[in-house]
Structure 1
Amino acid sequence: MARRTRHMLSDYLTLRRRSSLPVWADIAWRVLFVLGLIGTAVAVHWFDRNGLQDSYDGDVSFLDVIYFTMISITTTGYGDIAPVTERARMFDALVVTPIRIFVVLIFVGTAYNFVLKRTWDNWRMKLIQGNLHDHIVIAGFGTSGKEAVQELIARGTNPEDIVVIDPYDEALAAAEQLGCAVINGDATRDVVLLDVKISRARSMIVSAGRDDTSILIVLTARHLAYHLPISVSVKAADNELLARQAGATTVINPVSFAGLLLAGSCEGAKISDYLSDLASATGRVKLVQREVEQDEVGMAMNDVVKDGLGVRIYRGNDVYGFWEPQVQKLEEKDVIVEIIPGNGAPAESDEEKAATS
């Protein structure tokens, strides 16, 4: 992955909105503003032409005024035409000099915005794209998307391996602070997902804030990357089936999950506490899954789970719990779900390690 670049946010914040002007109109008003400044200087020089002296022929024509104005604004002048009265000199010092500065800044700013910055951004984007392999794409960096990124990082995922798509600059700035690559765009569009190299991604998390938008993102991603594991968050239970039909591998309903925690708390506060612990990498325990290795085929699940507790296996579309006979003989491509110590678990002492060995 490309080296991570962290951006420090300024303490000075301003209310801003993206310009609705097209590029040509943005350039046009800058050109008109420059012409207006130059026209003002030409007009004043023409009406005060008696304050100018032409060392060539002694006569200051309108073309001489235009010539003098232009070289005064763009250069320091050649000396063939010069202001000789105090009023003309003060006008050049107090008006023409600021106009010269404004014109230079406008041209430099235009060149930066429409040439240098775009060229630099395109080069950086190509560099990052070239290094995007086996990454995780996050579509939507709202509350759920941000929590997902923070949890991924807590579980050991390198922030450089995370790409965030969001249409809001504030959300992208927060994602950049975490070290993620970001792109301002609409994840329902093919071109945006192609820009983040969706076909080379490891997985995708969709949390757009609206069920219809999230399902459309899943549809778009699925037709671009048929193999990609996609997890999506939906709020309405009726939309869970639609999300799966759109191609989502995993559908999460945060409202339903919150209901499970609330119901569990009625049976005892420790139950909901343990469920929350399982869901977080910072807890004392966490859930993980892995495929059965070749040398584990034919063995019992409890015999191959060394550092934790095996709770179930997935065999194709079937699910078997730890109490069922199918887990006593593992097969190829079985997926084991285990409970292992989390990041918040106390470290094992030397005596405990020796006793275990």
Structure 2
Amino acid sequence: MKLPGHDAIARQADEHLVTHRVKLPRKAVERPIRQVGKRLAMALLVLVVTVVIVYADHDGYHDNADSSVDLLDAAYYATVTLSTTGYGDITPVSDSARLTNILVITPLRVLFLIILVGTTLEVLTERTREDWRLSRWRSTLRDHTVVVGFGTKGRSAIQTVCATGLKKQQVVVVDPSTKVIDAATAEGYAGVIGDATRSEVLKRAEVQRARQIIIATQRDDTAVLVALTARQLNRQAKIVAAVREEENAPLLKQSGADAVITSASAAGRLLGLSVLSPAAGMVMEDLIQQGSGLDLVERPVTKAEAGRSPREIDDLVVSVVRGHRVLGYDDPSVAPLRLTDRLITIVRATPATRVTPDTRPLPQD
């Protein structure tokens, strides 16, 4: 299935993928000028220390020019010695001077060279270190969350999920834009640059081992293709997708999405509700924002609650999930509650509220 502009997007993604296919979050790195300044300061410090050591024992050195070694001669000797030039016009002649050269000057010379070539060594080892990090990342990545699209919807989805307990190390962002992926890695998420409608791009995000996939693309047709590709690679993962137009929701479900959110109509309904009842609109907005005010959570039925009706539960029960059915709290068939049921409740958000992989939002006692 080809869409207008799809090949252009793919070519653009391939251009980015030539040098950087997967980007892992990094610690903040100092500016190059600051790094060079630090290295120069350290090299100068080593040079000054060497000059002081040589001048302190200047009687143990011999200068072929005038036999004596003054401060300038000590600085000259330290410079040519640390740079391994070694002209031989100034030499240590006493036992103490020679011992100092063996035990002190030589280690300082090695340290001086390490400082000078440190930048070169860092460049040479960077690729190896990055390959090692990437290999380790792939080997440890399991049951993670893949987010396709890091726009407003994608960011909000990640923030909501992470606010309920998901670690940033368990999130992988996929987007065709290098700048977007740079922004994601800056916030602590791993990123894959590429077109998520292509299976090789999703494989780089290890989508075949993901627990859940969030599709938050800008276009509905792109979301459909991503859902088809993701479902083909992972039959077990939960796929949640957002579409702009409500008429495209059934197509996305046929493509493999477990849940589809219509962003345009949902926002419109919230606007209409706020017009009719501003207070009701505020409550709905509060429920949408995870981690503050009131939270809408799903949790299992406890042993103490089994056999009772939803009205007898301490939490405010909205619905009961029984098998693959979602029943209202007032449905006669939900009473009595079973241990295999799950409750969708409204609770007061607290700092202790957390989510485990098996429970969705679950208040911690």
1:139·1:206 contact (CA, 8 Å) conserved in 2? yes
Q: CA deviation at 1:263?
A: 1.6
> Are residues 316 and 172 of structure 1, via their aligned partners in 2, closer, same or farther at CA, if it must alter by over 3 Å?
same
> Are residues 6 and 302 of structure 1, via their aligned partners in 2, closer, same or farther at CA, if it must alter by over 3 Å?
farther
Answer yes or no: is 1:285 the counterpart of 2:294.
Answer: yes
> Are residues 212 and 294 of structure 1, via their aligned partners in 2, closer, same or farther at CA, if it must alter by over 3 Å?
farther
Question: TM-score, normalised to structure 1's length?
Answer: 0.61
Match of 1:163 in 2: 172
Match of 1:273 among 269, 279, 282: 282
Answer yes or no: is 1:151 the counterpart of 2:160.
Answer: yes
1:285·1:344 contact (CA, 8 Å) conserved in 2? no
> Are residues 261 and 213 of structure 1, via their aligned partners in 2, closer, same or farther at CA, if it must alter by over 3 Å?
same
Match of 1:325 among 332, 348, 353: 332
Between the aligned partners of 2:331 and 2:204, the Cα distance in structure 1 is 46
Match of 1:251 in 2: 260
> Are residues 207 and 324 of structure 1, via their aligned partners in 2, closer, same or farther at CA, if it must alter by over 3 Å?
same
Q: Which one is further off, 128-137 or 290-299?
A: 290-299
Answer yes or no: is 1:6 the counterpart of 2:27.
Answer: yes
Match of 1:340 in 2: 347
Match of 1:194 in 2: 203
Match of 2:111 in 1: none
Match of 1:311 in 2: 318
Between the aligned partners of 2:326 and 2:223, the Cα distance in structure 1 is 28
Runs (5+) with no aligned partner, structure 2: 1-23, 32-84, 86-119, 353-365
Answer yes or no: is 1:215 the counterpart of 2:224.
Answer: yes
Q: CA deviation at 1:136?
A: 0.9
Between the aligned partners of 1:121 and 1:289, the Cα distance in structure 2 is 40
Which of 1 and 2 has higher RCO (CA within 8 Å, sep 6+)?
2
Match of 2:149 among 92, 116, 140: 140
1:136·1:204 contact (CA, 8 Å) conserved in 2? yes
> Are residues 237 and 8 of structure 1, via their aligned partners in 2, closer, same or farther at CA, if it must alter by over 3 Å?
farther
Between the aligned partners of 1:297 and 1:148, the Cα distance in structure 2 is 33
Letter in 2 for 1:170: K
Between the aligned partners of 2:127 and 2:143, the Cα distance in structure 1 is 27
Answer yes or no: is 1:179 the counterpart of 2:188.
Answer: yes
Between the aligned partners of 1:171 and 1:9, the Cα distance in structure 2 is 22
Q: CA deviation at 1:296?
A: 5.0
Q: Which one is further off, 326-335 or 279-288?
A: 326-335
Answer yes or no: is 1:124 the counterpart of 2:145.
Answer: no
Match of 1:52 in 2: none
2:173·2:189 contact (CA, 8 Å) conserved in 1? yes
Between the aligned partners of 1:269 and 1:185, the Cα distance in structure 2 is 42
> Are residues 279 and 334 of structure 1, via their aligned partners in 2, closer, same or farther at CA, if it must alter by over 3 Å?
same
Q: CA deviation at 1:279?
A: 0.6
Q: What's the C-alpha RMSD, in Å, of the aligned pairs? A: 3.0
Match of 1:239 in 2: 248
Letter in 1 for 2:335: Q
Q: How many residues align?
A: 244
Question: TM-score, normalised to structure 2's length?
Answer: 0.60
